[in-house]
């Protein structure tokens, strides 16, 4: 609700409430989540010039996040290099994630190098780096990163989506076939596939992070992502019109995001997905994040 947050901030200023450093963390975060680059710069400078607040690493982190989410990676890199304090792993990870999302391998490698020096045991670095190479089709480098993880005894956490029904939490991983309702779930997935096709959905197979040559196999791999299994379970077991609420331990991929928007309209369901970054409220074919996450 970035627009509401910024209106509240303007109202604070109007009635004379003096913002502090924490206020500006909230303001800059709001700008980040809806891609307000110019406003982000404006409020960062306002904090310094109008209120005499010295930026902390959190403020720089927010500014870098604004730029990385919007794809302004070179500018984000410049800010990191010019910061008056040493960048922490959160800031480098923000740059790496931005490079992965905007397919800039050069900056991604630059960020990963600093991250590995700073936190060599942080599994997430290798996972995002590997995913970046996979999206770019650089499979040799994917193998190198996985080998590096293996040598260091690091393991990637599998994507897992959870949904609660009648007091019981049901967990799903990609391609899961261990659930008692597996047959019904995969039947529902097939139904979902046909409805999505009729609605004009074209799968984004760049989100398949495994080396698969056939396009149909890539599409089948996407269909088995954990949140889709959880959605299928929810459609089977909850009453028509009831919201479906899902928790996921990883960031939702762009194809699953597009699919969930369509499914919310096709089945007239509100679908709420909490991934490792934010809440996504899907309703009537739209998402609360406005496709910016």
- The 10s digit of each residue's pLDDT in 108-147 is 999 999 999 998 988 889 989 988 998 888 989 999 999 9
Over the stretch 251-262, which tens digit does the pLDDT of each residue have? 888 889 999 999
Angle at 203 between CA 197 and CA 204, to 5 degrees: 160
* Residue in the block written with tokens 């690493």: 57
Predicted local distance difference test score (pLDDT) of residue 104: 96
Rounded to two decimals, what is the model's pTM? 0.81
The answer, yes or no, to whether residue 211 has pLDDT greater than 60, is no
Instruction: List the 244-248 sheet strands across, edge first.
Output: 168-173, 160-165, 244-248, 271-274, 279-283, 286-287
Please name which of 128, 130, 262, 276 lies closest in space to residue 204, comparing C-alpha atoms. Answer: 262
The tokens describing 194, both together, are: 């046909």
> Where in the chain are all domains bearing CATH 1.25.40.10?
2-151
Checking if the pLDDT of 210 tops 70, the result is no
Q: Mean of the per-residue pLDDT values for the chain?
A: 91
In this structure, CATH architecture of domain 2-151:
Alpha Horseshoe (1.25)
Q: List the end-to-end C-alpha distance of the chain, in Å, as a whole number.
A: 13
Angle between helices 182-198 and 226-237 (to 10 degrees): 100
240: CB partners within 8 A, 6+ apart: 268
């Amino acid at each position: 609700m970035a627009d509401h947050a910024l209106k509240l901030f303007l109202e604070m200023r109007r009635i004379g409430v003096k913002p502090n450093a924490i206020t500006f963390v909230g303001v800059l975060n709001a700008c980040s989540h809806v891609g307000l680059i110019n406003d982000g710069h404006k409020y960062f400078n306002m904090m310094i010039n109008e209120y005499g607040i010295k930026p902390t690493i959190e403020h720089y982190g927010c500014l870098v996040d604004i730029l990385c989410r919007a794809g302004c990676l070179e500018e984000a890199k410049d800010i990191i290099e010019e910061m008056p304090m040493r960048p922490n792993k959160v800031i480098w990870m923000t740059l790496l994630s931005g490079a992965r999302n905007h397919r800039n391998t050069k900056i991604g490698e630059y960020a990963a190098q600093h991250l590995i020096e700073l936190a060599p045991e942080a599994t997430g670095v290798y996972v995002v780096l590997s995913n970046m190479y996979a999206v770019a089709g650089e499979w040799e480098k994917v193998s190198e990163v996985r080998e590096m993880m293996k040598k260091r005894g690091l393991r990637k956490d599998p994507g897992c989506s959870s949904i609660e029904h009648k007091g019981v939490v049901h967990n799903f991983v990609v391609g899961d076939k261990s659930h008692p309702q597996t047959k019904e779930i995969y039947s529902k997935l097939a139904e979902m596939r046909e409805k999505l096709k009729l609605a004009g959905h074209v799968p984004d197979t760049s989100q398949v992070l495994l080396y698969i040559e056939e396009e149909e196999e890539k599409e089948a791999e996407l269909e088995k992502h954990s949140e889709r299994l959880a959605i299928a379970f929810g459609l089977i077991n909850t009453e028509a019109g009831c919201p479906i609420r899902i928790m996921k331990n990883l960031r939702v991929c762009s194809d699953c995001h597009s699919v969930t928007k369509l499914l919310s309209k096709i089945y007239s369901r509100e679908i709420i997905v909490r991934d490792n970054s934010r809440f996504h409220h899907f309703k009537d074919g739209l998402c609360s994040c406005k496709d910016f996450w």
